[in-house]
């Protein structure tokens, strides 16, 4: 590393509060830049001890601030173990299931603790915790989720503009929307009634910077009554583009693609309107711009002109992985449409060999939008606390939240999990529509027309979610394979294995065997 | 009568307080050995046991306001306590103005909590008063002095403006105020976003019907801010946002951008005439700057044809030399320009 590579962010001789804080932070981080010759090490055992202590002994008093986020404390811990490749014993699973189920609200959804009001965010954490610890059958946790009540509760939170409150009397934002879509996807309760208007809401939260803000203001276009909406009225974004909201909006946009496509191809009440669109170019640009320079060890920030923070390794790194996957999918769709109009999609398998000869860029198997090695350095060199657990940045302490999201960020920097065309084809061909319909959980009665729409939506939601697989041969391990953590599904932040198991259950499907796929590589990835 | 402001007896546990003897406390976990438990203080455990007790019976009374206030003080993220408090206020027909006043100290103390700002929003919605909204704008401005980029505070301000949408009382102060903030910190991205919200996203302000005029004003303003600190991404993003929003070609700014894409010329420039349309980089500017190079490449890419290689050349220099951390992104741009769908 040359010293010029570590030059501070240029201030142009015009300092301001932002640049002063930035330079002071770079001065701290610079001391953590790895020296050549000593590869950074993931202190796996220390982090496992940290997680185990939290799980078994519990959290110290300062975590009282998380009392309304108890499913999150459990999810951060369980998924931390999954990421580090540690399975849970049966007793721990049992206790986790019982604890989570104690937080299920009698009217549907999960609260932040027993007796608390149901809320979309802890509902995501509860469902994902059960995906990790639960199983089918009595006492297994999965079948104790009241899906019909959850769906009815979701509908009770829906606003005239298509957005959702996070809880009764709660705020509206895209975090809630993301959490709802994850639950609806996993649990087979994605109905057209639930999804109506969501694409427009997501699109309206994209800011001029390319990333997404917290919510949009819908009152001018959709009053309280929701009658005769004025689609031309502005729906301004509340709050600037932000890593957490941008992740949620990006993943929500990916999860709702089957609905967007089906809706566009079916008779629509609003034919005069252009379908809602997210600007993927400006979104990709925004994600890339969030990576800090070498002096910040390539960490990720959450907003323009703010500081890097270990948790954005996941929110921004994971969101960038979703965009990279969607861009790849769009590329493939274009080339299939362009070159193989009436042909068999399968024939495209193995295609690309000739294309690789054409230019330098096809040698590159790495579709990511950011510097994966640099981000790993940030997590390993600045994100780890000497006493175990991971953190925002030095000299801060570690905590449960940063521990998971630093590890998840390390995971998206090591692995590429992206949509896989042959997997999509295999999932479609093994799809059992009758079983999936029989396992539908919302309990809504539908007309024949609606049935065929919802059959299509159900299949495509399932296929869309489970076609994301790790692209073998694209791993990069800074510090060597000894630092490897498990891959995580960027739409859910669960392992692909956990996602498959829980979705196979709720859709009544038996999954085709996964064959390892890989793209040939010319040179080994370097770190 | 006002139990809410009564701070005597604050150390007495509910369990031994005769006033609460009629309430049956509810333990958090019954018959479950919870995993990953939190070690609460006795005080917190006591209060939340009684909170669960009153929720169970549906009691809404002045003492419930006292109880929820205490819980919120110990844990401002307890959204169920907030919700129950709000419903109790409505049920008791309590003064929402008094509640708002109480909230002033909360908001400053717990600036980063969603609930303190959302609670204010509920109160303001119920109050339906532009006077109250105007006071809120002043309050928010004070709160932002403590934390100039607080996300909830900013989005709350934007909600106030849009919800009450008062052209006489609320909107007129926004632009001068944003300019003050950018004067203090030209890199405050929240302030730039607010400017975009006010000028472009929320309808047309009084006196701003001539959009061409507004566009000229915004471009002049932004160029001036860029000239002070050319490496400031907030200003460049605003510039791009304005151009995109008004469908103005980036190429219309070629002569402005050019001087920022080359190393600074030593000594004074030949230009004896100051070009007000195109302010030049300040003396301290570190040039060439990445945002200007990126902007110029976008101009070349949009032009297409023979200009495309010029764009590619800039992206290569960014990827290999000037902005290597974003190598993957610049390579993606090259790939997209050469093989993309355009």
Q: Measure A398 CA to nearest chain B CA, in Å.
A: 17
CA distance A168 to A124: 16
Is the separation of the CB atoms in A236 and B202 below 8 Å?
yes
Asked whether the beta carbons of A12 and B282 are under 8 A apart, the reply is yes
CATH number at residue A125: 1.50.10.20
Q: Which residues pair with A238 in a beta bridge?
A: A215
Please indicate whether, in this complex, the C-beta atoms of B202 and A77 are within 8 angstroms of each other: no
- The answer to whether residue B149 neighbours chain A at the CB level (below 8 Å) is yes
Strands A237-238 and A417-419: unpaired
> Chain A, 254-283: which have a CB under 8 Å from a chain B CB?
282
Closest by CA to A149, choosing from A112, A117, A110, is A110
Listed in sequence order, the DSSP H helices in A157-268 are: 174-187, 192-195, 198-204, 243-255, 257-265
Whether A214 is in a domain gets the answer yes
B291 touching A, CB under 8 A?
no
A229-282, pLDDT tens digit by residue? 887 889 999 999 999 999 999 999 999 999 999 877 766 555 456 678 999 999
| Interface contact B237-A237, CB threshold 8 A | no
Query: Quick check: is A514 in a domain?
Result: no
Please give, rounded to a whole number of angstroms, the shortest distance from the CA of A344 to a CA of chain B.
22
Closest Cα in chain A, distance from residue B177 (Å): 17
d(CA A441, CA A142) in angstroms, rounded, equals: 12
pLDDT of A37: 79
Contact at CB, A18 and B158, closer than 8 angstroms:
no
Chain B residues inside the 8 Å CB shell of A117: 79-80, 83
The Cα–Cα gap between A382 and A375 comes to 10
Q: Is residue A10 part of a domain?
A: no
Q: Is residue A32 part of a domain?
A: no
Q: Which of B38, B119, B148, B301 to mutate to test the interface with A (most CBs of A within 10 A)?
A: B38
Q: Does the distance separating the beta carbons of B86 and A12 come in below 8 Å?
A: no
What is the SS3 assignment for A424?
helix
DSSP 8-class letter at B5: G
Could you count the other beta carbons within 10 Å of the beta carbon of residue B115?
23
Structure tokens at A7: 């030059």
Instruction: Say if the Cβ atoms of A236 and B193 lie within 8 Å.
Output: no
Distance of CA B287 to the CA centre of its chain: 30
DSSP state of A123: H
Q: Is B74 on the interface with A (CB under 8 A)?
A: yes
Inter-chain CB proximity A374 and B48 less than 8 Å: no
Among chain B residues, CA nearest to A239: B155
Find chain B residues with C-beta within 8 A of A240's C-beta.
151, 154, 189-190, 192-193
Total domain count, chain A: 1
Distance from the Cα of B65 to chain A's closest Cα (Å) equals: 17
Distance from CA of A196 to the nearest CA of B (A): 24
A11 touches chain B (CB under 8 A): yes
Of B185, B201, B203, the CB nearest to A17: B185
Three-state secondary-structure class, residue A140: coil
Contacts of A113 in chain B (CB under 8 A): 28
Interface with chain B: mutation pick from A132, A208, A234, A308, highest number of B CBs within 10 Å: A208
CB A257 within 8 A of CB A451: no
| CA-atom Rg of chain B in angstroms | 28
CA dist A457 and A260 (Å) reads 10
**Residue B341 predicted with pLDDT over 50:** no
Structure tokens at A478: 């800074």
Cis peptide upstream of residue B288 (ω within 30 degrees of 0): yes
- Angle at CA of residue B32, ends B28 and B34, nearest 5°: 75
Taking 70 as the pLDDT cut, the residues of chain A under it are: 1-5, 266-274, 337-365, 516-527
Query: Active-site positions of A?
Result: 242, 303, 306, 309, 311-312, 392, 399, 402
A462 in Cβ contact with A509 (< 8 Å): yes
Rounded to a whole number, what is the distance in Å from the CA of A3 to chain B's nearest CA?
A: 14
Mean pLDDT of the B209-214 span:
96
N-to-C CA span, chain A = 13
CB burial of residue B127 (10 Å; 0-12, 13-18, 19+): middle
CA A306 to centroid of chain Cα atoms: 22
Q: How many CB pairs under 8 A join A and B?
A: 250
B68 has a chain A CB within 8 A of its CB: no
**CB contact B119 to A (< 8 Å):** no
Identify the active-site residue in B12, B112, B149, B335: B112
Q: Is residue A9 part of a domain?
A: no
Q: With pLDDT > 70 as the criterion, what percentage of chain B qualifies?
A: 93
CA distance A189 to A192: 10
Rg of chain A over Cα atoms, rounded to whole angstroms, equals: 23
User: Residues of A with CB below 8 A from B77's CB?
Assistant: 65-69
Report yes or no on A525 lying in a domain.
Answer: no
**Distance (Å) from the alpha carbon of A440 to chain B's nearest alpha carbon:** 30
- Indicate yes or no: CB of B231 within 8 angstroms of CB of A11: yes
Mean model confidence pLDDT for chain A: 91
% of chain A exceeding 90 in pLDDT: 80
B291/chain A closest Cα distance in angstroms: 10
* Residue-wise DSSP of B130-142: HHHHHHHHHHHHH
- The answer for A 301-330 residues in CB contact with B (under 8 A) is 303-306
Residue A403 within any structural domain of the chain:
yes
Cβ-proximal residues to B69 (8 Å cutoff; 6+ apart), any chain:
B4, B85, B102
Asked if residues B264 and B272 have their Cβ atoms less than 8 Å apart, the reply is no
Residues 6+ apart with CB under 8 A from A361: B331, B334, B335, B338, B339
Residues of chain A with Cβ-Cβ distance to B241 below 8 Å are 207-209
Tell me what pLDDT residue A348 has: 41
Give the pLDDT of residue A448. Answer: 84
Res A35: pLDDT: 82
Q: Are strands A215-216 and A237-238 parallel, antiparallel or unpaired?
A: antiparallel
Q: Which domain holds residue A295?
A: 40-507
**Predicted ipTM?**
0.95
Interface of A with B in 71-100 (CB under 8 A): 73-74, 77, 92, 95-96, 98-99
Measured between beta carbons, which residues in chain A are less than 8 angstroms from residue B229? 11-12, 14, 16, 19
Position B12 scores a pLDDT of 79
Q: Within an 8 Å CB–CB cutoff, is residue A65 touching chain B?
A: yes
**Is B172 near chain A, with CB under 8 Å?**
no
Q: For chain A, percent helix, then strand, then coil, each to nearest 5? A: 50, 5, 45
Mutate to test the interface with B, among A61, A67, A99, A107 (most CBs of B within 10 A): A67
Structure tokens at B284: 């301290």
Q: Do A55 and B36 touch (CB under 8 A)?
A: yes
Chain A, 441 to 480: residues with Cβ < 8 Å from chain B are none
Instruction: List, for residues B61-88, the tens digit of each pLDDT value.
Output: 999 999 999 999 999 999 999 999 999 9
User: Per residue in B217-268, pLDDT tens?
Assistant: 999 999 999 999 999 999 999 999 999 999 999 999 999 999 999 997 655 5
Residue A13 falls inside a structural domain: no
Angle formed at CA A119 by CA A114 and CA A123, multiple of 5 degrees: 80
The chain A residue lying nearest B76, using CA atoms, is A65
- Say which of A64, A77, A116 has its CB closest to residue B80: A116
Q: Is B341 on the interface with A (CB under 8 A)?
A: yes
Q: Distance, in angstroms, between B327 CA and closest chain A CA?
A: 7
Q: How far apart (Å, rounded) are the C-alpha atoms in residues A484 and A468?
A: 20
Size of chain A, expressed as the number of residues it contains: 527
Peptide bond into B246 cis (omega under 30): no
Q: Does B121 touch chain A (CB under 8 A)?
A: yes
Contact B325 A16 (CB under 8 A): no
């Amino acid at each position: 590393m040359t010293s010029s590579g570590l030059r501070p962010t240029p201030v142009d001789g015009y300092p301001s509060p932002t640049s002063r804080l930035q330079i002071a932070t770079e001065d701290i981080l610079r001391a953590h830049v790895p020296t050549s010759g000593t590869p950074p090490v993931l202190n796996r055992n220390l982090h496992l001890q940290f997680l185990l202590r939290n799980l078994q002994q519990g959290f110290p008093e300062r975590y009282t601030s998380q009392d309304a986020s108890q499913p999150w404390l459990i999810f951060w811990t369980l998924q931390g173990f999954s990421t580090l490749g540690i399975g849970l014993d049966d007793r721990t699973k049992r206790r986790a299931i019982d604890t989570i189920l104690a937080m299920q609200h009698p009217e549907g959804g999960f609260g932040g603790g027993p007796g608390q009001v149901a809320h979309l965010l802890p509902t995501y954490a509860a469902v994902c915790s059960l995906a990790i610890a639960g199983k089918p059958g009595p006492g297994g946790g999965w079948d104790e989720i009241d899906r019909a009540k959850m769906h009815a509760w979701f509908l009770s939170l829906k606003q005239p503009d298509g957005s959702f409150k996070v809880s009764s009397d709660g705020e509206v934002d895209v975090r809630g929307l993301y959490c709802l879509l994850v639950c609806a996807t996993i649990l087979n309760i994605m109905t057209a009634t639930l999804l109506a208007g969501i694409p427009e809401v997501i699109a309206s939260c994209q800011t001029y910077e390319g990333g997404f803000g917290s919510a949009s203001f819908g009152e001018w276009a959709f009053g309280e009554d929701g009658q005769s909406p004025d689609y031309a009225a502005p729906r301004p974004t509340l709050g600037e583009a932000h890593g957490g909201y941008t992740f949620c909006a990006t993943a929500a946009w990916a999860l709702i693609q089957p609905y967007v496509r089906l809706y566009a191809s079916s008779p629509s009440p609003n034919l005069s309107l252009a379908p809602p669109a997210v600007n993927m170019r400006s979104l990709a640009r925004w994600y890339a711009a969030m990576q800090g320079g070498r002096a910040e060890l390539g960490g990720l920030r959450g907003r323009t002109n703010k500081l890097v923070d270990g948790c954005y390794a996941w929110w921004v790194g994971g969101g960038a992985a979703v965009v990279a996957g969607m861009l790849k999918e769009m590329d493939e769709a274009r080339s299939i449409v362009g070159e193989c109009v009436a042909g068999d999609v399968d024939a495209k398998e193995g295609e690309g060999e000739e294309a690789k000869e054409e230019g330098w860029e096809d040698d590159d198997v790495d579709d990511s939008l950011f510097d994966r090695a640099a981000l790993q350095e940030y997590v390993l060199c600045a994100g780890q606390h000497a006493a175990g657990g991971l953190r925002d940045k030095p000299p801060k302490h570690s905590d449960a939240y940063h521990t998971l999201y630093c590890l998840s960020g390390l995971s998206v920097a090591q692995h590429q999990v992206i949509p896989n065309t042959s997997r999509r084809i295999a999932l479609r061909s093994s799809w059992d529509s009758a079983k999936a319909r029989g396992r539908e959980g919302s309990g809504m009665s539908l007309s024949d027309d609606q049935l065929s729409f919802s059959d299509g939506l159900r299949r495509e939601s399932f296929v869309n979610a489970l076609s994301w697989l790790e692209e073998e041969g694209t791993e990069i391990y800074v510090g060597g394979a000894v630092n490897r953590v498990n891959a995580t599904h960027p739409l859910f932040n669960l392992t692909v294995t956990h996602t498959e198991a829980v979705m196979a259950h709720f859709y009544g499907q038996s999954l085709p065997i996964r064959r390892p796929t890989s793209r040939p590589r010319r040179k080994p990835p370097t770190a | 009568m006002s139990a809410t402001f009564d701070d005597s007896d604050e150390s007495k546990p509910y369990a031994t307080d005769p006033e609460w003897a009629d309430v049956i406390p509810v333990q958090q976990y019954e018959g479950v050995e919870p995993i990953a438990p939190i070690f609460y203080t006795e005080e917190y455990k006591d209060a939340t046991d009684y909170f669960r007790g009153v929720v169970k019976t549906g009691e809404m009374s002045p003492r419930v306001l006292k109880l929820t206030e205490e819980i919120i003080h110990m844990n401002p993220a307890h959204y169920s306590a907030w919700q129950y408090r709000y419903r109790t206020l409505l049920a008791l027909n309590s003064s929402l103005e008094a509640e708002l006043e109480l909230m002033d100290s909360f908001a400053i103390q717990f600036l980063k909590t969603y609930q303190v700002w959302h609670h204010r929003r509920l109160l303001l919605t119920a109050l339906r008063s532009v006077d109250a909204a105007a006071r809120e704008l002043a309050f928010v401005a004070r709160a932002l002095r403590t934390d100039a980029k607080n996300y909830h505070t900013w989005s709350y301000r934007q909600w106030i403006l849009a919800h009450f949408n008062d052209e006489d009382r609320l909107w007129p102060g926004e632009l001068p105020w944003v300019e003050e903030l950018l004067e203090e910190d030209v890199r405050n991205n929240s302030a730039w976003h607010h400017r975009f919200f006010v000028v472009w996203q929320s309808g047309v302000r009084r006196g701003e019907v001539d959009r061409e005029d507004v566009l000229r004003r915004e471009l002049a303003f932004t160029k001036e801010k860029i000239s002070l600190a050319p490496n400031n991404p907030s200003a460049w993003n605003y510039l791009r946002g304005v151009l995109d929003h008004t469908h103005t070609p980036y190429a219309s700014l070629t002569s402005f951008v050019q001087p920022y894409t080359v190393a600074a010329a030593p000594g004074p420039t030949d230009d004896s005439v100051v070009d007000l349309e195109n302010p030049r980089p300040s003396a301290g500017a570190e040039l060439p700057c990445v945002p200007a190079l990126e902007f110029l490449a976008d101009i070349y890419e949009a032009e297409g044809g023979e200009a495309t290689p010029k764009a590619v050349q800039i992206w290569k220099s960014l990827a290999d030399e000037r902005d290597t951390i974003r190598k993957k992104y610049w390579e993606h741009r090259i790939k997209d320009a050469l093989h993309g769908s355009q």
